Structure formats: C-alpha cells, structure tokens
Structure 1
Amino acid sequence: MKAMLYERFGAMPEIVEVPDPAPPEDGVVVKVTATGLCRSDWHGWMGHDSDIRLPHVPGHEFAGEIVAVGRGIRGFAVGERVTVPFVSGCGHCFECRSGNAQVCEAQFQPGFTHWGSFTEYVALDYADHNLVKLPETVSDATAASLGCRFATAFRAVVDQGRLKGGEWLAVHGCGGVGLSAIMIGKALGANVVAIDITGDKLALARELGASVTLNSTEIDDLPSAVKDATGGGAHVSVDALGHPSTCSHSILNLRRRGRHVQVGLLLADHATPPIPMARVIAHELEIYGSHGMQSWRYDAMLSMIAAGTLEPQKLIGRHISLAEAVPALTQMDRFAEQGITIIDRFA
C-alpha cells in the first residue's frame, strides 16, 4: 500500500510502498477514505512529540471502512463505516473504566504512538472500545474532520468550558479547532469573539457565527479589547492555537470566575508558558486542559450534526491527494490554510 513516510524529524516525507497491515486480535484494519491534515501532524514531523518512533507514517483524524477484524472483536464487522478519536483508550485502566479514555494511562494514538492514516490502510488496536459507527448522513470527509479538531473543540467548549446560551466565548486562533469552537459556541446560543492575525480567517469566523472579530496585530491591549467587546470579559475563553501569548491573553480576557480552556499544543520552547496566577487566584478563574474526546461522547455531537444544528462540513477547505499532502504538511508553520484540508485521493 502507499503511505507518506518520514525517516528523520524535519526531513522531507516521501510517498512509498509499505506492507499492508494485519488486524490485531483486539483490533481492525480500516481502509482510509478521507483523512485530515492537522497542525499536530506538523508538530510530530518536527519532532515535538516524544511518542513517535521512526520511521513514521503520520495522520490521526480519519474515516474509512473496516476491511478486516481481529478474532477478539465483537461489536464491529467488515464493511462498516467508522471513525475513531485521535486519543483512544485501552479499555481496561481506571480512566477508561470511568469513561475518560481521552486521558487513558496507556492510550493509543494513530499517527503518534502508532503509524497513522496518511496511507491506504491503517490498523487500530482496542477497536471495540474506541471505534465510532458513522451514520449515512455524515460523509467521509466530514467524518474525517471530526476526529481531532471538531471533536476536541466540542469537548473543550461543551464539557470542559460548560458554555451556556447567552454567555460570551472568546476564541484565540481561527484555525480548524478555533473555527470549530466558534460554530459550536454559536450553536449553543452563546456570543462569540474571534481573535486571529489574518483578515480572511476572521471573515470566515464571522460567517460561522462570531459576533465580534479582533485582529490581534492591530490591538495593543487585547485582553482589554475583549473585555470592552463583551461588557466585562468572556465567560469562557479557548486558546485554540497554542502559544504563550494566546494562552496568557485567553486567561487575562476572562471576567471574574471565568473558565479558560487550553486546547492548542504548547510544545518545544513554548512548553512552559508564564501564567498570570495572581489573576487566577484573585478572580477565582478556572483553568482546564482538553485532550480529544471519548468515543461514547460522539453520539451527542453526531446528533447535533444530524439535526443540522452543527455543520462541520462548512469548515472543510481543500481536498488534496496523498502526494499533495507532502508540501502541505511541511509548510503548515506558515498558517496559510483556511479551514480543514482533507486528503481523499491515495492513488
């Protein structure tokens, strides 16, 4: 089968032939029909993720059809269309048994701990615990866009942020996660402030439901600007980019007793950003991390999609081939893409 593979961090990936995978006893093999290109894949290629062992095939948000099942599989069959959370649980540890596979002690991450979906076929462990069956109304491309950015934003806004109708949500960074958060916030009946550094992304954010858009390159005191726009500060603020400045701004633009949710990865030189802890204490702010979403929570998200309340397909930008994904991956630090790029041609 064809796969995108790199043998050294930062080295140009190549499209090569690799052996077809066999299903693990507790797993399946999925024929990949669509897979998203995410900034997390770029971080992995750069060597910012310690879980990756070389040589490596990236890709962690995808949809496809089961073509083989292991002997221990009970809940899924060949021919079923599925997706899977990018953080998958073992099904046995305390966190998995408590319903929190997104922080599993022995988590399985296609594209990071194992070879991923930038290929024609991918093998998945712990399938009964992690696979999500797809309704016919959800296309392969839409399903692929859910696996990381949209599902992560859903949990961040709905479960971690506990956003309510009528509240203000601030979203820092209008990439895939940020635009997803904006759409979800709007669907919940909240008012949304979108912050980014480019006008085209802010225009798209407004189309998707943002009430206010702010270009941070044009504002000296961003937290004050958010507080002015929201009449006192955001109730919930999401750092969807992952940078010391966006993290700090997201906390500082909260109103008293507000909730900050960190979604964007802070890696390498940015791994330990300064936090305005005096403000956190004095204003009784809440700070949360958000790391993917459990497979059992997909039903709530898929129900909103089926009802038309959420339309993640609007976030899809380009459709590209596996070969075209090589330059797209290596240039992701330029932040040029609008929306979610989907790989859906593998020949």
Structure 2
Amino acid sequence: MRAMVMEKIGAPLRMMERPDPMPGEDELLVRVEACAVCRTDLHVLDGDLSDPKLPLIPGHEIVGIVEAVGKKVSPKIIGRRVGVPWLGHSCGECPFCLTGQENLCDAPLFTGYTRDGGFATHTVADADFAFDLDEEADPVALAPLMCAGLIGWRSLKQAGDAKRIGLYGFGAAAHIICQVCRWQGREVYAFSRPGDDTAQRFALSLGAKWAGNSDQPPPVLLDAAIIFAPVGALVPAALKAVRKGGRVVCGGIHMSDIPPMPYRLLWEERSIMSVANLTRQDAREFFPIAREAMVTTHTSVYPLAQANVAIADLRAGRVSGAAVLKP
C-alpha cells in the first residue's frame, strides 16, 4: 500500500510504500476511498497532542470498502462501505465504558494518533468501531461526517435547546452543524477570524442569520455558543455574547490558553464545558439526522500525494468546508 507517513513531530509527511496491513481477529482491512483532513490532524503533526505513535499514518475521517476481516468478524461485511472515526477502540471495562461514556475510556485507541489512520490506500480498523455507510453516497462527501460531523453533533447536544446559537470558527464542523441547526429551526450566528469575508459569506449561504468577526458582538444575546476554533481568547468573547444562564461549549481537542477574565463574565449562571471525542451512540443519532436534514458537505479534494498541500491550506484558512484526500 501507499501511505503518507509522519516520521517526527513538525516534519512534512512522506510518501512511503508499505505492505498491506493484516487485520487482527476483531478487525477489518479497509481500502480507503476518501479521508478528510481535520484540524486535529494539525494538532497531532504539531505536537500539541503528546506521544503520538511514531512513525504514524495520520487521518481519522475515513470512508472505505472492507476487503478482508479477522476470524471473529463475519465475512458478510466484506464489500461493504464503512466509516472509521477518531475513537478507534475502547476497553469496554473501565467505569466510563460501563456507564455509556466510552468517549472518556481509560484505555482508548485513537485513529491516526495512537494507531495508524487513513492517509493511505489501506487501513485496519476495529470492527466494532466501524460504521456501516450508504453504498450509494459519495465517499468524499461522507468523509467529513466522521469527525467534523460527529464532534459537531456532540457539541450541539451539549449546547442544549438553544434557539440562538453562535458558532465560532466556521470550518468543517461548523458548516455541517449550521445546516443541522437550520433544519431544527434554530438561528445561527457565525463568527470567523477578523477579515475572513469568504467564511462569512459561506456561513450566510448556508442559512446563518448573521455572520461577523470573532471580535465583534452579535446583534442579539445568544442562548449558547460553540467554539470550534482552537483559540482560548474566544472563551471570554463567547461568554460576553451569551445571555444569563447561557452555555459556552468548547468543541476542539486542543485550545490555546484561556486568558484571565473577570468573574462577572461567568456569573449569572453562565457555564463553560468541553467536548471530548465521540461515542458510537453519537453516530447512531447523527447519521440519520444528517440524511433527513439533507446535509451537504462542501469539500476540496486533494490526491493522497498532496496531503502536505491540503494540510498547509487548512492551516492557512484557505479551505471552505473540508479538505479531503482521495487515494
């Protein structure tokens, strides 16, 4: 197989030829059709997330076809299209797994971080953590749903029944969840980095009621806000933008330090919470909703060999929607 490999933190990925991986007894061998590039991949490459497996094949928004299975997996799944997400395995035995919080598992494996991922022509996945997908759908369009969609959905659930919701950082996750919010009848207020008129126009085209700079106040107080951008300074900005009793949800896996702020921003029962990883229940809930809401992912497609270009474009904010690698 061919794979784009991370050999050390901070270095560009290198194309390598490797033997096709062999699935373990509970695993699938998947021929990758598409793999989206996530901001979490940047955090892995930059060392913001500690102790990645090295050498590593990044990528955790994988869509592909099952080509072989381990001895404990039914061969009936061979030929099926599946999705492989960030959470690649949980222990099933710790207190979190036993109480429906496998996203907080004490001994997890993460695709494209602590196990090889989808920036390749083939990958291996735990059969219990591979989602059955529509065989008629476009794999490129499906790929961003595997993380941007799922983390966006989990973040939206944590925001509660907010009618007016702010989305800070209008990238892959926000452009999906904006569509879900509009389908649910919510008002979306989109915030982008100052001067990013392209992102603001994009948000308005997807039904946002208002779009502006992240250093601007919205025209009305919000019921809740979700922060997808990895910028700690947005936390006090979002607290200023939400009403009494409002909630700010931090939807990223990594964020720069939150600056000192006056207690009055948190007072009046405002709250801040984070979202960590995902659960398989999130997928069972979200994929039918994405279909019913007719969510359309906006993608920029890159050949596998141009993974470094896709990463650079994502880092520089040159991607509207999601970047997707296609082997």
**Interval containing the TM-score (normalised by the shorter chain):** over 0.9
Q: Equivalences for 1:26-45 in 2 at 5 Å?
A: 26-45=26-45
**Bigger shift: residues 100-109 or 195-204:** 100-109
1:109 aligns to what?
110
Asked if 1:145 corresponds to 2:130, the answer is no
2:284 partner amino acid: D
Matched residue of 1:282: which SS? coil
CA–CA distance in structure 2, aligned partners of residues 75 and 257 of structure 1: 52
Question: How well do the aligned residues superpose, as a CA RMSD in angstroms?
Answer: 2.0
- Structure 2 residues without counterparts, runs of 5 or longer: none
2:133 aligns to what?
134
TM-score, structure 1 as length reference: 0.87
1:275 Cα offset (Å):
5.8
Structure 1 residues 118 and 243 mapped into 2: Cα distance closer, same or farther (>3 Å)? same
Deviation readout 1:75-134 (Å, 9 max, x if unpaired): 972112111331232333332232222222211111001111000111123x22x22111
State which of 254, 275, 293 in structure 1 corresponds to 2:278. Answer: 293
1:173 partner amino acid: G
2:51 partner amino acid: D
TM-score, structure 2 as length reference: 0.92
CA contact (8 A) 2:43 2:254 kept: no
1:171 Cα offset (Å):
0.8
CA contact (8 A) 1:131 1:295 kept: no
2:83 aligns to what?
83
1:235 Cα offset (Å):
0.8
Asked if 1:183 corresponds to 2:179, the answer is yes
1:240 Cα offset (Å):
0.9
Matched residue of 2:71: which SS? coil
1:331 Cα offset (Å):
4.6
Structure 1 residues 317 and 181 mapped into 2: Cα distance closer, same or farther (>3 Å)? same
1:189 Cα offset (Å):
0.9
2:107 partner amino acid: A
CA–CA distance in structure 2, aligned partners of residues 40 and 144 of structure 1: 15
1:138 partner amino acid: A
Q: Equivalences for 1:151-166 in 2 at 5 Å?
A: 151-157=150-156, 159-164=157-162
State which of 271, 274, 292 in structure 1 corresponds to 2:259. Answer: 274
CA contact (8 A) 1:243 1:264 kept: no
Q: Equivalences for 1:195-214 in 2 at 5 Å?
A: 195-197=191-193, 198-214=196-212
Q: Equivalences for 1:58-69 in 2 at 5 Å?
A: 58-69=58-69
Identical-residue share of aligned pairs (%): 26
2:155 partner amino acid: A
Deviation readout 1:281-338 (Å, 9 max, x if unpaired): 521112221123312332322222332x141x3x322111001222221453211111
1:192 partner amino acid: V
- Structure 1 residues without counterparts, runs of 5 or longer: none
Aligned length: 324
CA–CA distance in structure 1, aligned partners of residues 71 and 93 of structure 2: 18
Deviation readout 1:158-190 (Å, 9 max, x if unpaired): x211134xx100111111122223222212211
Deviation readout 1:207-229 (Å, 9 max, x if unpaired): 1111011124xx5xx3xx22xx1
CA–CA distance in structure 2, aligned partners of residues 124 and 154 of structure 1: 23
